[in-house]
Amino acid sequence: MTDSSSGGGRTGRRKKRLPPGVSNPIDIHVGNRVRLRRTLLGLSQERLGDEVGLTFQQIQKYERGANRIGASRLFQFSRILDVPVSYFFEDLPSEIRSHEGQMSWGLSDDKQAELAPDPMARRETLELVRAYYRIADPKVRARLFDLTKVLAKAEK
C-alpha cells in the first residue's frame, strides 16, 4: 500500500523507521550538545535535572540520545544553559540531515561510532577550557595560549 491512496497528496512508499531501540542520530547529536554545554557550565546531571524537574538518570538518557527531547524541554534547556535552541543543532553532520542519512547512520554501528570522538565533547577538553578562563589576567592567558600552540607544533 502506498500513501498516494490516502488522498494526502503524497506519492511513493512510506518512509522507513528506525527499529525499536535504535536511537536517531539527530537525537544523539542534540544530546551530545546538551552534555557539552552542561559540562562547560560546570553543571552536574543532577543539578540540570533539578532545574527541569527530572532525575539525573533521565538527563543521562537525553544526553545519550536514548530518549528524544521534546520541543518544550529543549526550550527549557536552552534557557537554563543560556544558548539559543539552534545551538543544539549546530555542527550537525551533513550526512544525517536527510531522512535517508538518518536511517543509514542509525542502522550502521560503524557510522554511529563516528559521532562520539568529537574532542570538544571530551571531559578533559571541557575542564581545560574552564580552567583557562578562570585565569584572571588576560596577559597570562595569552601567554598560556601561545605556549600551547608552540607545544602542539613541536609534536608534529
Q: How many CB atoms lie within 10 A of CB 48?
A: 24
Residues 97 and 142 in one domain: no
Structural domain that includes position 105:
20-121
Q: Return the closest-CA partner of residue 74 out of 29, 125, 117, 43.
A: 29
CA atoms within 13 A on the CB side of 19: 4
Residues 64 and 81 in one domain: yes
Round to whole Å and give the CA distance between 96 and 85.
19
Residues 56 and 132 in one domain: no
For residue 62, the domain's CATH number is 1.10.260.40
Residues 112 and 156 in one domain: no
In the chain, the number of structural domains is: 2
Cβ atoms of 41 and 87 within 8 Å: the answer is: no
Torsion sign over Cα 88, 37, 71, 100: positive
Residues 56 and 46 in one domain: yes
* 138 Ramachandran zone, left/alpha/beta (phi>0; psi -120 to 50): alpha
pLDDT per residue as tens, the chain (156 positions): 444 444 444 555 566 766 667 778 889 989 999 998 998 888 999 999 999 999 999 999 999 999 999 999 999 999 999 999 999 988 887 766 554 544 444 444 444 444 445 666 677 887 888 888 888 998 998 899 889 888 888 877
Residues 46 and 103 in one domain: yes
Residues 29 and 64 in one domain: yes
pTM of the model as a whole: 0.60
Residues 102 and 66 in one domain: yes
Residues 115 and 126 in one domain: no
